[in-house]
Amino acid sequence: MDEADKSLAAYETLANSVPSIGFLSRKKRIIAFLKVTRKVQEMIDNQELSEDNALYLLSILTKKTANFQKASMMTALHLATVDRKLIPAVGFRYANEMRANLQMLPID
């Protein structure tokens, strides 16, 4: 399986793992973001994806999946209030980059 096939399979896995985000539920949206980014971090740890490829897939997932886009946005907006220990490294980096795109200050 070449790199493109791995990326496509990983994207399909991630797209299928996005849970329900509820109706204007901050908690469910953040939980959805955490669930997907934990899956991504697991793929990075198992060397199924590189970190750069994982961030790229998260950005595509954000563009293609409305529920994940809403979950990502909610997490980025409330990143300072989420316990840092709960967020996988790739999720924290992605949310911080979203904050930068929104012209918000990054979280250390």
Alpha carbon separation from 9 to 6, 15, 21, 28, 43 (Å, rounded): 5, 10, 23, 26, 11
| Residue 1's pLDDT band (cuts 50, 70, 90) | low
Q: Is the pTM of this model over 0.85?
A: yes
Q: Which pairs count as long-range contacts for 98-101, CB under 8 Å and 24+ apart, including other chains? A: 98/72, 98/73
- Structure-block tokens of residue 42: 């697991």
For residues 59-86, give the mean pLDDT: 93
Cα 99 from Cα 96, distance rounded (Å): 5
Mean predicted lDDT score pLDDT of the chain: 91
- Given a cut of 80, whether residue 2 has pLDDT beyond it is no
Domain boundaries, the chain: 27-101
Is the C-alpha dihedral spanning 22, 12, 52, 46 positive or negative? positive
